[in-house]
């Protein structure tokens, strides 16, 4: 009974969050920075913040995540961290030789009011940035938003500070993949190759946070979007922004800076969202959807049809990031499952509006909420009032899953106690098969474990 104090009575809370369904902004900024080739993230704040961000990313990806810190002390907390950041930039370029340093702020430096744009300019003016090297900076105060907001803020900064406007457009498109796993970014690139659409993706953490073991440590792995590719985003004729919360701001920035129009789509999770993505890419590029992808779609439909009796009517509670939850809910409904409790710690009215459109007709009694009070405690209360067959979400759901004896599918960020999320995509039709198969195995394992002897089946 790890969460034995969770009560069933749901009270309206105004100012208390219990076990938030989110983490802090700079983690998202750090993750976005790692998707740029040769980039060293830098946390402008205390050492504790940086250690937390690095360790969470390291534990999720099982890869060493490098980052610098301005190492605030009592003095910098009072007088500001300019001197620390100037000396950090000089030292990091000198010792670690990155192509880019991506600086994000923290709660402390934001509260002091440090101006990252002004400090970065001073670093250039003082000759602390070597020739050809770059500094990108984003404001990421963690007392608002979530890790998704931080990811979005850094993507917007990258778009603003690297994109080079061009009157002449090429046949290339920009893909903003949103906060997805390296395997998902690899899968989206594969899909675009199948469709023969030239593209540049940023950020791109494939080849950075899922690197092969070679016996040699590479400070800057070969993956990540290069500076040249980032600059070329201004010449692309179209941007596809996947996920409103993670990608829209960066897409708007590309439109503002370089006049590149954008199409905002859901993350291609599940059949319908992948259909919409492929059809829109096909419509705007003129490239048809190849038979190979149509066949992949057919295989997901076949799997769901074959095993429909195990999916049908099963109740699901899910929590995590809004860009994932929206198409995932739609996919669960497509499999005839019942997503009845949904929380996301990331604020934004769009979530409830869109979730309402997806759910209200199908399951009018479903609970969904986002923002600071949409926490794990509330989710547990809802589950106690209306039990579910499955929980989908990050590692923090394991306490509820254990207490209530409910199978728990790890999806989202962070996953600290399982592997596989780095390597197997959940986007596209291939990803839909992975999600359906994982759900199915969990439900069947439970049935095998708990069914009475006379109902224990060899063939399922």
Residue 25 Cβ, how far from ligand SF4 at the closest point, in Å? 7
| Residues 5-24 as x/- pattern, contact with ligand SF4 by CB under 6 A | -------------------x
Q: Based on the shown chain and the rule CB under 6 A, indicate whether residue 52 belongs to the binding site for ligand SF4.
A: yes
Binder of ligand SF4 out of 21, 39, 49, 197 (CB under 6 A): 49
Closer of 146 and 225 to ligand SF4 (Cβ): 146
| Residues 132-171 as x/- pattern, contact with ligand SF4 by CB under 6 A | ----------x-----------------------------
Residue 24 Cβ, how far from ligand SF4 at the closest point, in Å? 3
Query: Which residues are bridge partners to 342 per DSSP?
Result: 318, 368
Cα dihedral angle (330, 336, 340, 345), rounded to 10 degrees? -30
Closer of 48 and 198 to ligand SF4 (Cβ): 48
Q: Based on the shown chain and the rule CB under 6 A, indicate whether residue 304 belongs to the binding site for ligand SF4.
A: no
Closer of 55 and 441 to ligand SF4 (Cβ): 55
Closer of 49 and 154 to ligand SF4 (Cβ): 49
DSSP state, residue 123: H
Contact 432, 270 (CB under 8 A): yes
| Residues 82-121 as x/- pattern, contact with ligand SF4 by CB under 6 A | ------------------------xx--------------
Closer of 52 and 350 to ligand SF4 (Cβ): 52
Closer of 106 and 120 to ligand SF4 (Cβ): 106
Closer of 43 and 238 to ligand SF4 (Cβ): 43
Q: Based on the shown chain and the rule CB under 6 A, indicate whether residue 69 belongs to the binding site for ligand SF4.
A: no
Nearest by Cα to 378 from 363, 355, 400 = 400
Give the tokens for residue 73.
Answer: 């002390």
Strand order of the sheet with strand 199-201? 199-201, 173-176, 238-242, 262-265
Contact range with ligand SF4 by CB under 6 A, out of 45-53, 65-73, 225-233, 236-244: 45-53
Residue 30 Cβ, how far from ligand SF4 at the closest point, in Å? 11
> How many Å apart are CA 419 and CA 397, to the nearest integer?
16
User: CB-based contacts of 65: which residues, under 8 Å, 6+ apart?
Assistant: 30, 34, 54, 57, 58, 209
Closer of 26 and 182 to ligand SF4 (Cβ): 26
Binder of ligand SF4 out of 26, 41, 81, 428 (CB under 6 A): 26
Residue 136 φ/ψ, nearest 5 degrees: -120, 145
> How many Å apart are CA 184 and CA 191, to the nearest integer?
10
Residue matched to tokens 């600071």:
372
329-358 positions binding ligand SF4, by CB under 6 A: none
Closer of 107 and 400 to ligand SF4 (Cβ): 107
Counting Cβ atoms within 10 Å, is residue 106 exposed (0-12), middle (13-18) or buried (19+)? buried
Contact 100, 39 (CB under 8 A): yes
Residue 350 Cβ, how far from ligand SF4 at the closest point, in Å? 24
Counting Cβ atoms within 10 Å, is residue 276 exposed (0-12), middle (13-18) or buried (19+)? middle
3-state class percentages of the chain: helix first, strand second, coil last, to nearest 5: 50, 15, 40
Query: Contact positions toward ligand SF4, by CB under 6 A?
Result: 24, 26, 45, 49, 52, 106-107, 142
């Amino acid at each position: 009974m790890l969460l034995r104090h969770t009560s069933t009575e749901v009270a309206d809370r105004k100012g208390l969050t219990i076990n938030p369904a989110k983490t802090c902004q700079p983690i998202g900024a750090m993750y976005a920075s790692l998707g740029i080739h040769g980039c060293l993230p830098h946390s402008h704040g205390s050492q504790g913040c940086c250690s937390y961000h690095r360790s969470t990313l390291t534990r999720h990806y099982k890869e060493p995540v490098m980052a610098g810190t301005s190492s605030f002390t009592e003095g910098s907390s009072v007088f500001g961290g300019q001197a620390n950041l100037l000396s950090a930039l000089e030292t990091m370029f000198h010792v670690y030789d990155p192509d880019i340093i991506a600086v994000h702020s923290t709660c402390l430096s934001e509260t002091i009011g440090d101006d990252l744009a002004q400090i970065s300019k001073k670093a250039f003016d003082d000759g602390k940035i070597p020739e050809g090297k770059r500094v990108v900076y984003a404001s990421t105060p963690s007392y608002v938003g979530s890790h998704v907001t931080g990811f979005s803020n850094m993507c917007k900064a990258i778009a603003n500070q690297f994109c080079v406007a061009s009157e002449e457009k090429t046949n290339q498109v920009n893909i903003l993949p949103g906060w997805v796993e390296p395997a998902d970014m690899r899968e989206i690139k594969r899909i675009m190759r199948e469709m023969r659409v030239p593209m540049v993706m940023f950020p791109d953490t494939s080849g950075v946070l899922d690197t092969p073991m070679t016996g040699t440590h590479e400070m800057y792995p070969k993956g990540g979007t290069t500076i040249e590719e980032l600059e070329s985003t201004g010449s692309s004729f179209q941007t596809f922004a996947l996920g409103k919360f993670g990608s829209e701001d960066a897409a708007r920035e590309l439109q503002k800076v370089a006049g590149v129009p954008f199409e905002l789509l859901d993350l291609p999770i599940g059949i319908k969202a992948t259909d919409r993505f492929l059809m829109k890419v096909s419509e705007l590029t003129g490239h048809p959807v190849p038979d190979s992808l149509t066949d992949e779609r057919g295989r997901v439909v076949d799997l769901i049809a074959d095993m429909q009796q195990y999916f049908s009517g099963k109740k699901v509670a899910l929590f995590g990031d809004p860009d994932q939850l929206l198409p995932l809910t739609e996919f669960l409904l497509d499999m005839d499952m019942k997503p009845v409790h949904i929380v996301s710690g990331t604020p934004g009215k769009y979530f409830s509006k869109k979730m309402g459109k997806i759910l209200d007709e199908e399951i009018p009694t479903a609970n969904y909420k986002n923002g600071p009070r949409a926490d794990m405690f509330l989710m547990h209360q809802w589950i106690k009032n209306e039990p579910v067959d499955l929980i989908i979400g990050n590692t923090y759901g394991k306490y509820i899953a254990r207490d209530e004896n409910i199978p728990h599918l790890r999806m989202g960020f962070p996953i600290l106690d399982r592997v596989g999320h780095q390597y197997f995509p959940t986007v596209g039709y291939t990803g839909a098969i992975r999600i359906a198969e994982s759900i199915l195995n969990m439900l069947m394992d439970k049935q095998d474990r708990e069914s009475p002897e006379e109902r224990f089946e060899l063939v399922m």
